[in-house]
Amino acid sequence: MIKVAMTGVYVNDVAKAHAFYTEVLGFETRLHMELGGGTLLVTVGAPEGAQQDLQLLLEPGQGPIAEPYRTALREAGLPCIVFSVDDIETEYERLRGLGVRFTQPPQDQGPVVAAVLDDTVGNLVQLAQPKE
């Protein structure tokens, strides 16, 4: 059996991304290492033991591949990643209360209700709740 162990998201500031993804979105830090020269290796994951085997790598988004990729996704209005939520309305209100800017409020999108937020580090992120 093959499973996803880690996926990455390019960010324009790893430290700022780490703060947003943990303090605002509620992920927990899985790995935080200084690699020298100000380079950080940071992964986060779902809190409280959920999906212990899955990590999100916060990758530096500068460079000839990452920068155009991030820019193209953002300009097209496409999220770089989708996170599942149990109650999208509750998360939407909680995050708005924390000052998170949404580019799309919760709306019906076929099999899910989805919203899109700005992660403050160069990306759009989608929250999706499967319909019952």
70-109: pLDDT as tens digits: 999 999 999 999 999 999 999 999 999 999 999 999 999 9
Q: Is 47 left (phi over 0), alpha (psi -120 to 50) or beta?
A: beta
- pLDDT value of position 126: 98
Give Cα 50 to chain centroid, integer Å: 16
16-60: pLDDT as tens digits: 999 999 999 999 999 999 888 777 899 999 998 778 889 999 999
CA distance 29 to 19: 10
Name the residue among 43, 27, 23, 124 with its Cα closest to residue 85: 27
| Domain boundaries along the sequence of the chain | 6-130
13 has a pLDDT exceeding 90: yes
Q: Are 54 and 71 in contact (CB under 8 A)?
A: no
- pLDDT value of position 62: 87
Return the CATH fold of 6-130.
Answer: 2,3-Dihydroxybiphenyl 1,2-Dioxygenase; domain 1 (3.10.180)
- pLDDT value of position 132: 80
- pLDDT value of position 105: 98
- pLDDT value of position 48: 82
